[in-house]
Amino acid sequence: MAKKSKLNPAKAAAAALNAAAAPPTIRNSVWSNNNTACVNTWFCLSAQALGQIDASFDDAETLTMHELACWNDLASPDNREIEAATLADILTKLFTNMLGARYEAGQNYASAVVAMTLVLTDAKKTVCELAAVVDELHCFTTER
């Protein structure tokens, strides 16, 4: 009688194919409490600030835009876009007015709102990816 394989084919296939198809790491999207953009993004979105996420710094990394308090599945894409742009507007204002950030060379208020809105309207993007874009747009005081 043939010996039964202990391998769960479903799990093995998932693991193998997932590993084979794993995307390359996006540059600069490392979640760290040493990274000012990550800390600022988490802090500004947190419960007592803008009230978008109720999670610890560590847990916030993998939260998706779909899990933000403002994400409304039922809304039209236009409604989601204006709500995301409103959040992007206040985020960049907090970064520049309260936390002393300047815009990176070639970036400005308009590009910051447009770029963050694009991330905020993508259900699958994570807070970590949002922080990476925030980092590309803003030059924080710790980076000068």
Partner 1 sequence: MKSSTPFPSVRIAFAAVLSGLALFSNVPSAPAQATTNNILANLDPARVLRAVGEKGVFDSLAQPLVQRILQTTHTNALLGFLNDWNLRPKFFHAADGVSDDAVLGLEYHYQKSIASRVLDDSWKNPMGVSLAFEARGDVAVEAQKNPNNLLETSLELHLFQGIGGIDPTYSNSDAAKAEFQHELMQNVLDKEFASGRGKAYNAMARRLTEHMAPQFFWDLQGHATLEADQQFHDRQWAYGGKLAFAFREWRAHSTAGWFNVLDYPFAALRWLVEKEDFQPSGRVFPSVVLGLDLVDGSDNDARIAIDPDTDAFPRGRAELAFKTRALRWQERPLYFSAAYRYFQEFSASRAIQSADLDRSEYFVMRMDLPYRFNLSFATGKLPLDQDNDEVYAIGWALNF
- For the chain, how many residues are written? 144
In the complex, the smallest distance separating the C-beta of residue 6 from partner 1, rounded to whole angstroms, is 14
d(CA 132, CA 129): 5
d(CA 128, CA 57): 10
**Packing angle between helix 109-120 and helix 77-93, nearest 10 degrees?**
130
In the complex, the smallest distance separating the C-beta of residue 1 from partner 1, rounded to whole angstroms, is 19
Site for partner 1 in 123-142 (CB under 8 A): 124, 132-133, 135-137, 140-142
**Could you say whether residue 89 binds partner 1 (CB under 8 A)?**
yes
Which residue from 4, 31, 41, 44 is in contact with partner 1, where contact means CB under 8 A? 44
Tell me the residue type at 116: M
Which residue from 1, 3, 4, 13 is in contact with partner 1, where contact means CB under 8 A? 13
**Could you say whether residue 41 binds partner 1 (CB under 8 A)?**
no
Which residue from 2, 22, 63, 65 is in contact with partner 1, where contact means CB under 8 A? 22
| Listed residue (82, 83, 103) closest to 92, CA to CA | 103
Which residue from 39, 120, 128, 139 is in contact with partner 1, where contact means CB under 8 A? 39
Q: Return the bridge partners of 138, or none.
A: 103
Locate tokens 């998932």: which residue? 14
Which residue from 1, 3, 6, 77 is in contact with partner 1, where contact means CB under 8 A? 77
